Structures are given as C-alpha cells and as structure tokens.
Structure 1
Amino acid sequence: MRLLLVSLWALGLAARVGATDTGGPSHRYAAPLHVECMNRSSETGEHIQNERQEIQWIPFPTCAETDRPLEFHYGVEGSQNCTIPSVSDAFFHLLEFYIHSDAPLSCRLPARPRAQVDILNEPQPAQEYIPLVFALAGTLQLSHLHVSTRMNVLLHTTPKRRIRAHDTGVLDSGVAYSTSTLDESASVKLIIGDPLPLRFSVRWFPTPELPSTDGTVMWQGMGGHVYASTVVYVVLSFLAGAVVAGAWFYGKVLPERLRGRGLGGATPLGAGVGGNGVGNGWGYSKRID
C-alpha cells in the first residue's frame, strides 16, 4: 500500500513538472533582459544580413537615463523611461518606416540565459529568443514626425517549477504598443537631432494565457497587486467615512429629531401643575371623582 501511494505521488509530481518548462537554465527574478533589434537599412527599410546570410541584430538605442541600451528586468513591473538623446538622420528615416508600418520595429529578448556548462565534444546549445515587436504609432509630416511616446509592454512567462511568485521562469512571448495615440500631450514633435523620450509601462503575466474574470487565470502579475499600502488605504478610507457619517448624524440628524419631538407621551409626567399636564403621559396624578 505504501509503495502504491509513493508511486502515485511520483506520477503526480511528474505531471506537474511536465506542465512547466524543465529544460535548460531559466531567468532569476530581476535579471536584466537586453533588447536587441533587427538592423535595417535607413534607405529601404530592408533588414541587413551578416556574412553568413543571417539577420543582423543590434542593441536597442542607448537610453540617457542609464547610459545603456534598453533592457527590462525579469518579473519587475512599473514605469520605465528611455530617452534617446539625439535622433540621427538614419534613425529618423527608420522611424518613418516604423510609424508608417512599412517595416516593423522587430526586436527580441532572450527566452532563457545562455547555458554555462560546457559538454565535452558537444557544441553549446543555441541561444533561444522570443520576438518583441514595438508597434510605434504617430503621424508623418513633410518636415517632422509626431511620435506617441507612451508604450505598454506585456510579457508572458512559462513558470519553471515555480512555488513562490519570484521563482525562476522562462519567457514565452511579448508585445509592445503605443497608447494614447489620439492624445496630443502623449506625443512629441520630432525632427533630426531632437531627443526622443520613450516611457514604457511594463506588466508581466505568469502564464501564456491572457487574464480573465470568469476563468481560472486572473491578472496577478508576477507577485500580485495587493500590497500593504492598499490595505492601509482601505482601512483609512473606512475610518474617514465613519467619522464623517458620525459627525453628520450627531451634529444634524439627532438635534433635529430631538427638537421635533414633544415632551409628552414619552415623559413620566402626569397631569402636571394645576391639572394641566405638560403632556398626556403616564405619570402620577390625583384622582378626581
């Protein structure tokens, strides 16, 4: 009987592990993910190949905030700024291709870290990537561009034996797109030599599925969105509401009710002085035959 239970437990564990990624290394929480983009010709928008007839990938332009090419961090959510200090003539023409959708701003992220173990007489496994296309919105003018600089970045992961929210995992897919495309305050007028301030709002999904309210997948990000500050805010809001309601009741409602109610009927006074009672109460009075 004990052997049967152990066998069933092992089968269940194997099934759970099989539902997640188990091959190769995986990203640790907050590990940097360097963004590489397809190198394109500024004249035609066509991708450029290297001497081995492979697509050439180059780092995303350098951000003034970090003095490094754009990078995200595994599982870390929030807003992230990346200001390209000066738009060159070549990059300006590439932006025209990107905005007009003549050529996509095709980038990629490493799905998992490179293997650190060397196997004798065997080549290193090829680095795996996921595509990350930036759908950059804007409008083209004869002398300048209008670029929507606010972008959402949504990244999906495949958990690797994840028990806690910050355990390891592997990238599954991702997408980035401009928001507030009709809001002029969310776009910049751009000419050659101007800086291009990009603002990314990064969110992570713990599974490849989209969040839903009536299914089993709920939007929780990598670590959930219920923090201590949220609880404190709810408690303070409740206390503030209780204080306001109490002040209104004791300062307005209760005095008005007391002023509108006579002393008779609810008082223990009887006939009162001179036989004329203050009210028709149930108090003591002298019997008159």
Structure 2
Amino acid sequence: MPPARPRRSSRSTTCASLPGCCHDDPGGVGGHRSRRDGPLGRRGRNVSVRIERPEPHLTALIIDRPERRNAFDTDTARRLADAFGGIGPEVRALIVHGAGGHFCSGADVKEREGMTDERWQEQHRLFEVAFSRLRAVAAPVVAAVEGVALGGGFELALSCDLIVCGRSARFSFPEVTRGIVPGLGGMALLARRAGPGRAKELVLTGRILAAEEAAAWGVANLVVDDGDTMAHAVALASTLAANAPVAVREAKKAIESGFGRNLEETVEMELEAYSRVVPTEDRREGIRAFNEGRPARFKGR
C-alpha cells in the first residue's frame, strides 16, 4: 500500500508568515553573497550560513557557528530556509557541511531555555520550513559530516541524499533524554535507511552511532579520514554534477516517491520518469557522445 499522506497542518508552510522571517530581512541569507561580500556578509555582520561554489554547478552550504558546534538558532534557521529555498536548476549538486570540525549539534538549547510553549512551537515551524525546503531540493544533496551530528543535526544529515563522514563522526538522537522526540523527519528517514528496528534502537535509547557502524547500517555512504571529508564530498558531488541533470533529478524523485509502495506502482513511476527524459537534449547528447567516444556535455534540458 502507498504510504499515508501526511495530514495537512493549519499552520503556514512558508516562513514568510513567521515573525522576523528571512523574507522580512532585505539582506536575506548573507551566505548568498559570500563571493561578493566575504564571510561577514554586508556591513561586516557575522553570517552563520555561508555559500561557497567549489566548482561550476556545485554549491556548498556551510553552517558556521563553530563556537556552538554549529547548533542552529532562530537566525540560522531563517538563513537555512532562505538558502535551501534559493537553490535553482543551475545547481546540479549541493553539499551541506559544518565549520570547525563538527557538522551540527541540532537546535541551540541555550536559546530555547525558558521559551514558552507558544514560542517553542513558533520556532519549530521555522525549522520545519528549512528542512522541508532541503528535502524539496531537486538536485542531489551530499552531507559532509565530521564530529557531532546530534538531534536536528542528525536529521539534517538524513535529509540529504548521500552522507560522507569522517571517522570522528558521531550520530545520535538524544531527544528522549530531554523529554521530546525528533521532530524534523529524522525518525522516518532513519527507518528508511536502516530499518524500523534499528531506528527504534537509536531513537528510544538515545545512544551514539559511530561512523563505521553508521556505514554498516547503511546510514552513511562513505567513511573517510578526518580532514578529507569535504574533498571526498566535492569529488562525489562533481560526479553527480557531471551526469545529465534532468535524468539525475528524475531518478532521485522516482526513488523517493516509489519507496514503500508496491512494485507495480514503483515501476509505473520509473516509466513516467523515463518518458520525461526521452525527449530531452541531454538524452540525445548522451547517446551521441557515447558513440563518438567523448565525454558528454550536458546542458540540463
């Protein structure tokens, strides 16, 4: 049977309705200006989300709050929502990374100390927007993980398509030890990768999953030496970006949409994806390049 449709919330699904939303900031996400304004953005203010472009068609999004192990506060979540929402078709692969030796330690608990229930939920709606926009990115997304990926940080990694991690990587859902549960898709995403039994083990105990075990479970795709994680993530993203962009996006969508459905429904989705790529210029270029014995020059159309 196909998975049940998620219940529609009466809450807004855009961050524009939230107080102090990134759309209210004429500066938007400062990271979008990294090539022009540098790491401090405009007017020298510190920017917690940076955008870099290591190669053509590749974008790297870096959470830059190393003093908080890259925990996301309200401002960082606004910037993440804006950045993920701004990923256009010119980006063929996206990398998500954390500065300073850690990936992300989840929501900033210090900021949450003393929050009212209403303010907590309001902030969480912003988190939901950011993560929903990440999952909606059409291009493949690679997480480059070193150090901790805890709580929302683990969910951030799981929201990516592929995970490259250093040997220091540590994944955990400690939420039950704090009286809450993962609330940004992490439980469902972990169950998809590792199975429901292992997902229950991690979520209900709050224990740490080390890098090698994460790879053995199918949570991480590749384990490399610390310090080499970003280089390996860029190399992987470059491979993804070199392939036909329309075909890559369609394949990603078909795999995600077909998961959990019966075989015939899944095959039908694949055939629909196949039909959409047949009339593309990239399909003709790919066949021509193969027959001519040269690399294909895909244009994304």
- Normalized per residue, the structure richer in helix is 2
- The alignment's TM-score, normalised by the length of structure 1, stands at 0.27
- The alignment's TM-score, normalised by the length of structure 2, stands at 0.26
Which protein is bigger by CA-based radius of gyration? 1
Pick 1 or 2: higher relative contact order, CA cutoff 8 A, min separation 6: 1
- Normalized per residue, the structure richer in strand is 1
